[in-house]
Amino acid sequence: ELIVDVQPQEVSIALLEDGRLVSLQKESRTLAYAVGDIYLAKVKKLMPGLNAAFVNVGYEKDAFLHYLDLGPHFSSFSEFLKEMPRGDSKAPFPQVQKMKLLPDIDKHGTITDQLVKDQELLVQIVKEPISTKGPRLTTEISFTGRYMVLIPFSDKISISQKIRTGAEKARLRHLVESIRPRNFGVIIRTSAEGKSVAELNHELKTLLKCWEDTLENARKGVVPSLIFEEESRIVGVLRDVFSPDFENIYVNDPEVLQHLQTYVSLIAPEKKDIVKLYRKEEPIFDHFNITRQIKSSFGKTVSFKSGAYIIIEHTEALHVIDVNSGNRTKAGNDQENNALEVNLRAADEIARGCAIWAASSSSTSST
């Protein structure tokens, strides 16, 4: 089950397995810039000492673009931008598929080799603003879907390492190779495993439409301006974690409910009814026993059902975790197997606790 708690300042998203909290994510609703957003921007200042540039995307602090974040295909991308029509021009956009890609830029090059002051760029946010710092940028534009990531000006197909079988990797590579346009790279995500060519082709066309819409917005846009907005953060989280095994998705906000229902109807129409509005007066995290589980993760002692427990001590330099077999109710006579079982349970609990702690300690983290 996925439980979504929508509050004025942030959204908390909890993933439950058999009622047990296994993942927690918190996202601020007040940030103006989101990872994945694409801007029409202008180079404000070159910093050779940092091998980077400060770029105006409209934020109070200029965004940061390092040379390595230009991406290997920046020469082709830059050439494309020079030919891209702007303003009221009705001229067609240059076709990426018909371009001859230029050689990759030198990975040991300098920022002044590629950029000049006041140069206009399409940039994508890869890290949101923190404190007084502006966003971090890349010019290696990408569009993320449920099954794949589309990368213009690339010819590479990459496959998630979590797809284990060689036969399935070969099948997916062959399918994607047969449908992807020339000069568009693809990263095949884990969720593509077992999917048909029709499903993959449908998503590929959707991502290509995002690219075309971005270019059309860039034609009309003034510098600096947002020209492609990443989908709702909540929908983005759902896209990454959604599984056909989900039984329920509860949310306490009607507007967010509509977004989630629309997305689930798109990717899994047969599961659209699992998205439900939580209507009770009791806070949604309290009702599903999530609040108590979060609080218990901050305690010094964490007990397991078997009687084993861990003690967590926080020092100035590090965290110390002591694993104890305790008064185990199912302990056998084999000391090694008992120790192994206790340590496996401890490892699972420590990982779960770290994920919950990280999400709870920062409203912008995605753990």
Two tokens at 84?
A: 């891209």
Given a contact cutoff of 8 angstroms between Cβ atoms, the answer to whether 293 and 300 are in contact is no
pLDDT per 10-residue tile (average), the chain, 367 residues: 90 89 79 81 95 92 94 94 83 88 93 95 89 88 92 94 92 95 95 91 91 91 88 73 84 90 81 92 94 77 76 82 75 77 85 65 41
Classify each residue of 193-223 as buried b or exposed e, where b means 16 or more C-beta atoms within 10 Å of its C-beta: bebeeeebeebbeebbebbeebbebbbebeb
Q: Count of residues for the chain?
A: 367
Instruction: Report whether 228 contacts 41 (CB < 8 A).
Output: no
Q: What is the pLDDT of residue 365?
A: 38
For residues 97 and 128, the answer to whether their CB atoms sit within 8 Å is no
pTM of the model: 0.68
Q: What is the pLDDT of residue 275?
A: 94
Sheet with 319-324: strands ordered across: 301-303, 309-314, 319-324
As a dihedral over the C-alpha atoms of residue 194, residue 200, residue 206, residue 212, rounded to 10 degrees, the angle is 130
